[in-house]
Chains A and B, each alone.
Chain A
Amino acid sequence: MNRLVAFLAANVVPIMFLGISAAGIIMADLTLSSVSSDVSERVFRNLFLVLSLIIPIVAGLGLNFGIVLGAMAGQIGLILIQNGKIGGLEGLFVATAGSIPLAILFGYLTGLLFNRTRGREMITGIILGFFANGIYQFVFLILAGPVIPLHAEDVLLTKRNLDGTVSPLMGLRVTMNLTMIEAALDYPLEHFAPDGWIRKMSASMFGDRFAGSIPIRFGGVKWATIPILTLLTNVALCFGLTWFLRTKLGQDLRAVGQDSHVAEVSGIRVDRCRIIAIIMSMVLAAMGQIIFLQNMAVMNTYQSHEQVGFYAIAALLVGGATVSRASIWNAIFGTILFHLLIVVVSTAGSRLESPQIGEYLREFFAYAVIGVTLALHAWRSKRG
């Protein structure tokens, strides 16, 4: 009995979420299979971003709201391939390769800042995200074109001339259709030539209709679609994180996160460890944002990164993580639960009232989660 109470108390956030989701499904009479296939798609595109938050938590930096900067690095990589017209898996690879140095730079600078604002990393990260957004807009609204040599017509804003021709101006388009890398990780085969050897080989092995994802059918309806490469990427990251935390560097980060004073006295270079943690988080966030956007296939150039931090953090917290403790399982369960709730409230909301209500509920719940879990964490650590 006591153990049951303790279990419920320890998992109050996930349980609350399951409850609300179940209520939403029943009230709005949603079809389970469509909910589950929506959720699975969202989980596959978001999980990587959520996992990118784990290392800074382990290293005692709390929730890294600064991953917004990592997401920006990822988007800059995508802008580059969009401009250079590189598509498919190759495009994803180039975008990632281009974004990693930027993410390292952003991570290093953020790390320096966090070392000077120790104990207030989270609020610093939030404000830093807003500030970086301003710089990002300046760079891509004003400098892109005249200063930064971007030229592609579907990247830059354009002006229709009197003679009917179209000429590029300065500034990036507000939305970009990432058709060339659309679902390049989820459905990689679609980006290879239909008569190429890869397609032929896969057709002979898995059949004509296989494009890289496996639909899971059950009782005649589709419940989920498993994108093989995306799944493998996430699994690889999970194993990579587990492995990393048992290396010397991982152990140092854990020591710093637990008690930076003791770590310092034991000769661990605390400031350096904290910077490394932030850099790793930024690099993973950049990759996560690329994975996210290849699935969306549309990039809101000036907005896609804005909410990344909040949504990923909300998802992690829903999974039972706290400011000071997070595991891979927290990330996985959290992402599933959070997106279950989001799918349920937004579809239920739009079905009951209007699409705006659904949108409202989505935002409301995301912020409510962060607020409630932060309060719970403060309350628990006060009780000891």
Chain B
Amino acid sequence: MDVRFINPFINSVRQVFKTMAQLDITVDKPRMKTNETADVCGVIGFSGDAIGTVVLSFPRDVACKIATSFSGVEMTVDHPDFSDAIGELANMVAGGAKSQFPGVSVSISLPTVAVGRTQPISVTTVPSNSPRLIIPCRSVYGSFFVEVVVVIPKMNSTCAPAVAVAGVGS
């Protein structure tokens, strides 16, 4: 993955969580994805000059605390607005990052949120062998990670954003 696409996500995660949830985020060194899983995932797809996804991936308790801090309302995964809150955080992280992408114009999808122990997220428009990056994040509420894959297609075609979540179970 082009390293120029990494910093926009790091900057955006820090800014979104600081501004909207009053949380300072410490970002550790990004690494290639192996077999990480999570309880709660907020997914946004990219399409246009570049295609890919960003996935905010949280343990359940961390997601609840962050959603509570963001919304100002006590949140559990059963709260009717829990998925909405996680999806909106993913939306803001994706939107903030794409505005910093170097020389490419992309559109973002509406958010998809998966609750339950998830297997790897797959994106139908991104080749399955595309490298996926994990950006580890720490907050006072616990650790989470941001999974990023961004690919610039060889042919400059427009792809509809499409996101599939595989193997979701509670």
A and B part of one assembly: no
- Which residues of A does B touch, CB under 8 Å? none
- Which residues of B does A touch, CB under 8 Å? none
